[in-house]
Amino acid sequence: MRFDAEKEKKELGERKVDSKEIFDGVILHVFRDSVRLPNGDITGREVIRHVGAVCVIPVTDDGMVYVERQYRYPVDSVITEIPAGKLDSPEEDRLSAAKRELIEETGITADSWLDLGDFYSAAAYSDEKITMYLARGLHRGEQHLDKGEFLNVVQVPLEELLQDVMDGKIPDGKTQMAILKAAKAIEMGL
Amino acid sequence: MRFDAEKEKKELGERKVDSKEIFDGVILHVFRDSVRLPNGDITGREVIRHVGAVCVIPVTDDGMVYVERQYRYPVDSVITEIPAGKLDSPEEDRLSAAKRELIEETGITADSWLDLGDFYSAAAYSDEKITMYLARGLHRGEQHLDKGEFLNVVQVPLEELLQDVMDGKIPDGKTQMAILKAAKAIEMGL
């Protein structure tokens, strides 16, 4: 699938006319911009600027995955997630951030890191880009949770997680995606 | 993988102490809440309240997928996405919303709809829940784009999209997930 990105941007692109900062939070920076559409009309765009994030699916030699049970306030429930976290700064190396989050949240270090690619969590209104890694060759050490971070680490077979994804039992987006992609990557011999 | 959700919520849950509305936008409602952590400490939570959304991967009998090339302002680029849109209201039936978005954006109606499950796009700071559908038995009609909506519809083989996902060429989260999940569902004979 090949596209002429420059030509498409000329045809479909929007130009910023104005930008107003709404909220400068710890995680979320919210803006309300005005843009000029391809037909010349002006419209509003609500935009979240986010520093970016990483997530890691740690899989043992015998196909077990370390996942976390973590309470998420916006959805008021404890859900299954893979280790993840935001970058310390936009410039931070993403692999270093992934290694840091994995050891902090689970105490695990890994010999082998496969980049499973990036994705935008909500490109319609946010620039958050998340990079996914598959970590193998695992060694367990001690967890170093951030102050105010509470979660339980459990081991689940990758095959069971894959079935849970298909049965709709993994509500977290990045976790669903990483399970599907890791299973596919392992199946492809990557 | 079975958990005692009630017991976990008692152990890991956070309780709202205060909530302040920051922004009441068209798409985004932003709040800054204060919560009490399991250890009794008080901390802040930045939360987006979102009405919810649906997305549809429309696959023809010979394995072609209708995808869209659409400009996304927050990431300043034209990206490949499946048809999607937000609910008109929190009460709107999700399947009806998916049918509406598919016909509006592509002109397509479908005989068969398979629910591929829900996911939270960013559970750490948003309650947005997206429901995915696999649409088959397709019939092409006329596109009815919303005013101010600009996108190109193209056909790409599902196999090629799956390879693009593994090669990191599909930056949109919901689109990556729907491609992986639809391919898996078809492989499983669903």
What percent of chain B stands above pLDDT 90? 92
Query: Which pLDDT band, with edges at 50, 70 and 90, does B1 fall under?
Result: low
Q: What is the mean pLDDT of residues A54-74?
A: 97
Q: What is the mean pLDDT of residues B117-126?
A: 97
Q: Quote the minimal CA–CA distance from A141 to chain B in Å.
A: 23
Chain A residue whose CA is closest to B86: A124
Q: Quote the minimal CA–CA distance from A113 to chain B in Å.
A: 16
**Cα–Cα dist A126/A49, whole Å:** 6
**Cα–Cα dist B111/B138, whole Å:** 7
Give residue A1's pLDDT: 59
Residues of chain A with C-beta less than 8 angstroms from the C-beta of B49: 74
- Of B139, B170, B137, residue with least CA distance to B68: B170
Range from A124-133, A145-154, B162-171 carrying the lowest mean pLDDT: A145-154
Q: What is the mean pLDDT of residues B171-186?
A: 96
Chain B residue whose CA is closest to A117: B168
Take residue A178 and report the two structure tokens written for it: 């990483």
Collapsing DSSP to helix, strand or coil, B75 comes out as helix
pLDDT surpasses 70 at A63: yes
Instruction: Set out the domains of chain A in order of their start, with CATH numbers.
Output: 5-49 (no CATH), 53-117+130-187 (3.90.79.10)
Model ipTM value: 0.94
**Cα–Cα dist B175/B190, whole Å:** 19
Mind listing the pLDDT tens digit for each residue in B132-157?
999 999 999 888 888 888 999 999 99
What percent of chain A stands above pLDDT 90? 92
Residues 6+ apart with CB under 8 A from B44: A26, B32, B33, B34, B35
